Structure 1
Amino acid sequence: MIFAILIAASSCSSKIISTNYYTLHQKELMHIETIYKYLYQQKPFSIAFTSKNLQIVSVEMKTDSLNYIYEFNTIDARLKDSLLKYGYDAEKVIWLINAMQKIECTWINNYDYYTNNKEQRLIFISIKPKVIRRPFSPSKYYMLAYFDEPQHFDENGLLLDGSNTKRLRRFNYLLFKKITDKICYTVSEKFR
C-alpha cells in the first residue's frame, strides 16, 4: 500500500504541482510580487529563507557600492533595525517576509535580462512544495517567473527567446513553461 502511494506521488508532474500551487495561492502571490516590485524600485534587495521551517531569513541589502547579506530569525528585533539602518521600509519588508512564510515561498529576487538590446526585468519566486518524493532523489524547488510583458511560447508551452524565433529562452540554464502569458515556472534542484 505504501509503495503504491509513493509511486503515485512521485508520478505527479511538475506542471500539476506548480499550476496547482499557483492557482491555490494566486492572490497572495500577486500581492507579494506587486509589493516586492514596488519596494525593489525604492531600494534593491532580495529575501531567502535558509531554514526548513522558514524561521531564518537571509536578506541581501544593496547599497551604491556594496551588497550586505544578513541572516535573522524572523522574530528578531535586529531585522527591523537593520532594514531601517540601510534605508528600507522595514514595515513593508517584514510584511513581505511574513506573507512569504505564510504560503511557503523560499526566495524572491529581481533578475535583469536583455531582449533586442532592451533591458527587461522579471521577478523570481521560489517555492518548495510538500510532496512525497522518490527515495534518494534530490529536493525539487519550483520557481515562478513574473514578467512585465506578455511572453511568446512554442506549441508545448515552452518560453521562446522572442516572437520571431523558435529558440528557447533559458534563465540560469533552465527552461520555463507557461502558466499565463506573463507567468512561467520551472523545476530546479536549487531554490535560486
Structure 2
Amino acid sequence: MLTSHRQREETQSRLTLLAKIHRLKDLKITAFSFQQRDTERHLWVKPFKNGCRCPVCERRCPIVRQAQEARSWEDVAILGRKTLFWYAPKEILCPTHGLVQEKIPWAAPYARITYRLEFRICALCQIMTQKAAAAILKMAPSTLSNCLHRVITRVRTGHTIRGLVTLGADETSTLSNCLHRVITRVRTGHTIRGLVTLGADEIAYCKGRK
C-alpha cells in the first residue's frame, strides 16, 4: 500500500512538472510518454473545468458518448522535443444545437495543431522565412506552409462583411510606401455600422459587391 501510494505521488509530481514546463492552464495532463527515440513527447490531456461545451453556444451539456480513438494535436516544441496532445473528444447533447462534438479549448475545429503553435507560426513568419521558422519549430517546411495558409484563410473568413448594401469611402491620409488609410461607412441590411477601417482586400471585395 505504501509503495503504491508513493508511486502515485511520484507520477502526479511528474505530471505537475510537465504542466508547469508547458504552461498549461485550461487542460490537465493524465499521462505521458516519449517516442521516436525520445524526440517526441506525447501528452494525454483533458479539458480542465471547461470541457463538454457546445462549439456554437459554449453551453455545458451532458455527455452522450466518448470517441473510441484519440485524436492528436501538435503543440509548440519544448526543449528540442516535438510535443503532441492526445485526447478522445466527447459527443454532447446541446438543447439548442443537438448532438455535437464538444469544443476543444486548445485548438480550432478540424485543426491538427494547437492555438499556441498557430500563434508561434504567424509570429515567426512575420520576421523570417518559412524555412527558418520550420527549423525552429521542428516542422517540415511544407507542413508549416499548409498550417499558415489554413490560419490565414480561417481568420479572413471570420472577418467577411455579410449583407453589404452600401459603402462610402473617403481617403483621410497617405502613409509611407503609398499605403492609404481609408475610413468607410458600411451599411449592412437595416443596420449602419458606423465608421470602420478596412484593408485593401476588404475594400476591393466591397467595391465588387456595390
User: TM-score by structure 2 length?
Assistant: 0.22
The structure with more radius of gyration? 2
Q: Relative CO higher for 1 or 2, CA cutoff 8 Å, sep ≥ 6?
A: 1
User: TM-score by structure 1 length?
Assistant: 0.24
